[in-house]
Amino acid sequence: MSKENPLWGAPRIHGELLKLGFEIAESTVSKYMIRRRGPPSQTWRTFLRNHADASDDSTSRRESRPDELFGKDRSRIKRSLALGRIDGDV
C-alpha cells in the first residue's frame, strides 16, 4: 500500500488497514513502510521547460552581449545566466 500510494503516510495507511479489518498498530505500519529518499521535485529540465514561455524573447538572441540586452541591470543578467538563456562570453 505504501508503494502504490507514495504520498500516504503511516496514519492514512493505518486507517485504511483498519477499514479493511486489519488490527495493527500505527507504529507497526510506519516500521514497515518503504522509506522515500526525499520529496518529489521537478528536474531543472522540467523547470526550464515550464518557464520557457515566461522569459523574454530578447534573451534568446545569441549575437547580443548581455550588457547590450540589459544595460546596467545586473540582476537580469545573473538571472538569465542562471537559466542558461545566454550563451557565450560575458
Shared-domain flag, residues 76 and 54: yes
pLDDT tens-digit map of 13-28: 999 999 999 999 999 9
Q: Which residue has the cell 477499514?
A: 19
Distance of CA 64 to the CA centre of its chain: 31
pLDDT tens-digit map of 2-57: 888 888 999 999 999 999 999 999 999 999 988 777 667 778 888 888 888 776 55
Shared-domain flag, residues 22 and 56: no
Q: Is residue 53 part of a domain?
A: yes
Q: Is residue 90 part of a domain?
A: no
pLDDT exceeds cutoff 70 at 81: no
- In what helix (H) or strand (E) does residue 79 lie, and over which residues does it extend? helix 74-83
Q: Is residue 21 part of a domain?
A: yes
25: Cβ contacts below 8 Å, ≥ 6 apart: 14
Mean of all residue pLDDT scores within the chain:
75
Shared-domain flag, residues 1 and 33: yes
pTM over 0.85: no
DSSP 8-state symbol, 63: S
pLDDT at 66: 57
Expressed as residue numbers, the domain containing 63 is 44-83
65: Cβ contacts below 8 Å, ≥ 6 apart: 88, 90
